[in-house]
Amino acid sequence: MKLEEYRARLEQDPAYTAAEEALRPFLQLADEVLRLRMARGWTQSELARRAGTGQTNISRIESGLANPTLETMRNIARALGVELTIRLEQQEADPGAANELALAPPVRYPVAVGER
């Protein structure tokens, strides 16, 4: 069986699609933290030191295994010199339709670059 065929079969499995949906936010967060850290050439230990947390916490976030607090994410954003933005989106049946709520702009948590 080819990989594409296997993936197509998985996508037909309701349990698989439910698990994928549940894990999506954790994996998106993992990808973004990893991308930003690597762009700076930092190790997990360096990011942890700058964010005031442990290397194990960074590792768990980057592997999608953590459920970090908002405060932890604010500290990581501050260390990376980026803005932490949280956005809730309305789910639509039509994947081509705009799904961002017009009445709810993104919540932005300002972080001062250079703190710590």
Using DSSP's 3-state secondary structure scheme, residue 107 falls into strand
CATH number for the domain whose boundaries are 3-83: 1.10.260.40
What does 51-95 look like in DSSP terms, one character per residue? Answer: HTS-HHHHHHHHTT-----HHHHHHHHHHHT--EEE--B---SST
Q: Give me the amino acid identity at 82.
A: V
Per-residue pLDDT at 116 = 42
Encoded amino acid at 94, one letter:
D
- For the segment 68-83, the average pLDDT, to the nearest whole number, is 97
Render pLDDT for 23-72 as a digit per residue (tens, 0 to 9): 999 999 999 999 999 999 999 999 999 999 999 999 999 999 999 999 99
Give me the residue spans of the domains in the chain: 3-83
